[in-house]
Amino acid sequence: SSLQLLQANFPPDDDPSATVLWPAFGVHDEFETPAPVVALEWLGERTLIFLTTTNEFNVVDTVMMTLIERSDFSGIQLVYAEFSLCSRAEKDRGTTTTKSLSTTFQNSIRAYDKRLLILCQEEVKSIGILGAKRRIAALEEDGEWLEALALALDHYESAIKSLEDRQRAQPGDFSRHPEFSSGVTEEETWIAGLLMRYVKIAIENAPEAYHSHGYYSSSSFVDLSQSHYQMLAGVCIDFCVVTKRLDLLFGKIYRSFQEVRFTTIFFDVLEPYILNDKLRYVAPEVLAQFIEHCMIANDTVAVERCLLHMDVTIMDFHSILGILRKNRMFSALIHVYAQGLDEFISPLRILMEGVFDAA
């Protein structure tokens, strides 16, 4: 079963003699329902309430087309109405009529002043829909952190992210650079605070890891701690990429991983986001440590591979060029010069100097 949202398209009013202009309806969107619907009501401009034959009460956000709430109404004892449906069938040249009873709850659920009035057999219940902040706060209080963060991202996408943010920025657009971005709004500060509280409690409750001479032992506790920090890094990076809080990602969050000595895992999780073009900027100090991490692992190819996916027009050229030249990463050096500075002679000169030095 499904609920279809229809959009009315009216014909142009070009003919003044026409008395009736009948609209045409087309499917705008649809939402899958677990069972047939027996009651339906709008609560505000974007929230749709419906009840199914299995007594499931559902609240849907019709803008995001997501299920906000699902509750069991089997014990509420709603008032209902019954009506009979007749069907006729011919049998041996005769006509037989069968009747079947159907039930509707349509008049038992009504919206008034942003609240739902539920008509039960012994009482009338009043139900209010909590706002996003109150729902997130309730999930946080119950310890449902991942659900709270997911709802916060939905809230960001639907209520905070502007139309200009949805449009793809052009290369070289410095508005994407954290140091040139506009001021953070109160809503964005509140969402960032939620993430930082999650980071704090996740680190405080992380499984204990044992370090030995800078390396991890083969203890099962270490495997558990590594999985824990891999999940934490993935949540933080994904959250900050969506909300465009790279200043937070490469600031407080990165320093939190430094304090617990899990920057290696942070870099391992960060790399796929760069290679998949989800993250095109890395703060200079973090990029320098990422390059150092790759050098220790003898994986300079990873650095050059990542730089080819990054927007070099908003990089700190002074620091990155020095690092690349020092570590003889000529492919990445040529890419940064060509794409970032539109300079082709200098990288060739540096490349030739490197060839002669190696000869």
The pLDDT of residue 248 is above 60: yes
Query: Whole-angstrom Cα distance, residue 204 to residue 324?
Result: 37
Q: Is the pLDDT of residue 318 over 90?
A: no
Phi, psi of 295 (to 5 degrees): -65, -40
Task: Tell whether the model's pLDDT for residue 164 goes beyond 90.
Answer: no
Report the pLDDT value the prediction gives residue 342, as an integer from 0 to 100: 72
pLDDT-derived band of residue 198, with 50, 70 and 90 as boundaries?
A: very high
Q: How do residues 71-98 score in pLDDT, each as one tens digit?
A: 888 888 888 887 776 655 555 555 555 6
Q: Beta strands 24-32 and 2-9: pairing type?
A: antiparallel
Name which of 302, 291, 311 is nearest 246 in CA terms.
Answer: 311
Contact 112, 129 (CB under 8 A): no
Q: How confident is the model at residue 232 (pLDDT cuts 50, 70, 90)?
A: very high
pLDDT(23) > 50: yes
Token pair for 12: 């142009």
| Separation CA 106–CA 80 (nearest Å) | 8
Give the predicted TM-score (pTM) of the model.
0.64
| pLDDT tens digits along 93-116 | 555 556 666 777 878 888 888 788
Q: Is the pLDDT of residue 354 over 50?
A: yes
Domains of the chain, residue spans? 2-128, 133-315
Q: At a CB cut-off of 8 Å and minimum separation 6, what does 109 contact?
A: 39, 41, 49, 51, 78, 116, 117, 118, 119
Contact 250, 241 (CB under 8 A): no
51-55: average pLDDT: 88
State how far the Cα of 290 lies from the Cα of 298, in Å rounded to an integer. 12
**Cα–Cα distance between 257 and 263 in angstroms, integer?**
5
Q: Is the pLDDT of residue 217 over 80?
A: no
The pLDDT, as a whole number, for residue 356 is 62
* Mean pLDDT over each residue of the chain, to the nearest integer: 79
By the 8 A CB rule, do 91 and 181 touch?
A: no
Burial of 146 (0-12, 13-18, 19+ CB in 10 A): exposed
pLDDT exceeds 90 at position 301:
no
Higher-pLDDT residue of 19 and 283 is 283
Residue 287 burial (C-beta neighbours within 10 Å; 0-12, 13-18, 19+): buried
Identify the pLDDT of residue 310: 82
Torsion of CA 176, 177, 183, 184, to 10 degrees: 70
Residue 168 pLDDT exceeds 50: no
3-state SS track over 243-264? HCCHHHHHHHHHHHHHHCCCHH
pLDDT band at 350 (very low <50, low <70, confident <90, very high): confident
Nearest to 244, CA basis, from 158, 176, 163, 166: 176
CA count, 13 A, side-chain hemisphere, 138: 8
2-128: CATH number: 2.40.10.360
Model confidence band, residue 10 (pLDDT cutoffs 50, 70, 90): confident
Q: Which among 204, 293, 187 has a CA at the least distance from the CA of 245? A: 187
Tokens of 145: 């952190």
Residue 182 has which token pair?
A: 């506009």
| Per-residue tokens: 273 | 């986001």
Confidence of residue 70 (pLDDT cuts 50, 70, 90): confident
Task: Report helix, strand or coil for 256.
Answer: helix
- pLDDT over threshold 70, residue 321: yes
- The CA-CA-CA angle for residues 264, 279, 245, to 5°, reads 90
pLDDT at 270: 95
